[in-house]
Amino acid sequence: MHLKFYEAGQKYGAYDCFQCRSQRSLTPLTGSLVRIGPNDLVTSDPDLMKRMLGVRTKYTRSDWYNAMRLDPRHDNVLSTRDDAVHTRLRSQMAGGVDLYGLLTIATKYSGKEVVELEAKIDESVLRLMSMIDTYASQDKRFDFGLKAQYFTLDVISDLAFGKPFGDLASDSDVYDYIHTTEQSMPNIVVAAVLPSLLHVLSWPLLRRLMPSENDATGFGRLIRMAKEIAGERFGPSKKTRQDMLGSFVAHGLTQKEASSEILMQILAGSDTTATAIRATLLHLITNPR
């Protein structure tokens, strides 16, 4: 149904946590598919989403996906809009591990080429349990929401690159990842809703406003870290490991592609999983049996 007088500000001004609520409230009144802009629809129909995102879908990716380009200069498996390139990347990355949580719509990882997958996860579980015991013995407040993300960051980094970040061991956000993503995510959301902004920022005079590996802080620092990790797997002194990144490289990903996928690995493998853990625990403690 076309909402003739839907306020433009809902799209162009309301970038807070209530925007999704206001849009969601429309579907019970007008049906499962609502037009909220000239080229924008909102749906509450999961079957429609499955059909749109299916393997043989006839739908093509819009410029919304450009905002998923975590390194502004290179695409990843989620942001790639070319169907042929997307299919190739999915095929090359199929030997990794299914830790992309909600982003399995982008690719599917089997884990067949990751050595000691379960043992690595168990090690991080033991570190988390040890941290809980330490806090309990000292009668200190334990922020499970934050520690859950320490846990998932250590797990995904261990499986992806062969070594955990060390967040649980140090009880800190070692690479300042959590703070950086919390600051950057609103910008990513705005870029997704208004993709023309990314086009403007790609102009030579404005390109310096985008994150760069030369930045000392922010997302640029994460881009530099990703490039350093990828650089270790290429060249005459390259390291060969049986982890997710090693699988990607073995199946033909270039150094630039590997660097872009590292950022997506961390984001999709940690944030979505931490959210699932938090939600599960919240459900358990608020629904006693």
Q: How far apart are CA 155 and CA 246, in angstroms?
A: 16
Looking at the structure, do residues 41 and 121 belong to the same domain, yes or no?
no
Looking at the structure, do residues 13 and 130 belong to the same domain, yes or no?
no
The answer to whether the beta carbons of residues 99 and 159 sit under 8 Å apart is yes
Percent of all residues in the chain with a pLDDT value above 90, rounded to a whole number: 30
> Is pLDDT of 176 > 60?
yes
Of residues 121, 102, 103, the one with CA closest to residue 111: 121
The values of phi and psi at residue 36, to 5°, are: -115, 5
Domain that holds residue 12: 1-59
Of 32, 59, 86, the last residue of a domain is 59
Looking at the structure, do residues 184 and 268 belong to the same domain, yes or no?
yes
Looking at the structure, do residues 43 and 130 belong to the same domain, yes or no?
no
Query: How much of the chain is in helix, strand and coil states, percent to nearest 5?
Result: 55, 5, 40
Q: Please report the pLDDT score of residue 108 as a whole number.
A: 41
* Helix pair angle (144-161, 177-193), 10° resolution: 90
| Burial profile 79-89: b = 16 or more Cβ within 10 angstroms, e = fewer | bbeeeeebebb
Of 59, 74, 94, the last residue of a domain is 59
pLDDT band at 184 (very low <50, low <70, confident <90, very high): confident
Q: How far apart are CA 102 and CA 53, in angstroms?
A: 12
Of residues 192, 227, 193, 191, the one with CA closest to residue 209: 191
Q: Which residue spans within the chain are E strands per DSSP?
A: 33-37, 40-43
Of residues 180, 164, 260, 166, the one with CA closest to residue 215: 180
> Is pLDDT of 251 > 70?
yes
| Burial profile 132-159: b = 16 or more Cβ within 10 angstroms, e = fewer | eeebeeeeeeeebeebbbbbbbbbbbbb
Looking at the structure, do residues 153 and 237 belong to the same domain, yes or no?
yes
Domain count within the chain: 2
Q: What one-letter code names the amino acid at 149?
A: Q
Q: What is the largest CA-CA distance in the chain?
A: 63
Looking at the structure, do residues 260 and 155 belong to the same domain, yes or no?
yes
> Is pLDDT of 12 > 70?
no
Which of the two residues, 37 and 178, has the higher pLDDT score? 178
> Is pLDDT of 105 > 50?
no
> Is pLDDT of 287 > 70?
yes
75 in any annotated domain: no
Strand partners, 97: 110
> What is residue 40's three-state secondary structure?
strand
Most confident of 15-19, 86-90, 121-125, 197-201: 121-125
> Is pLDDT of 27 > 70?
no
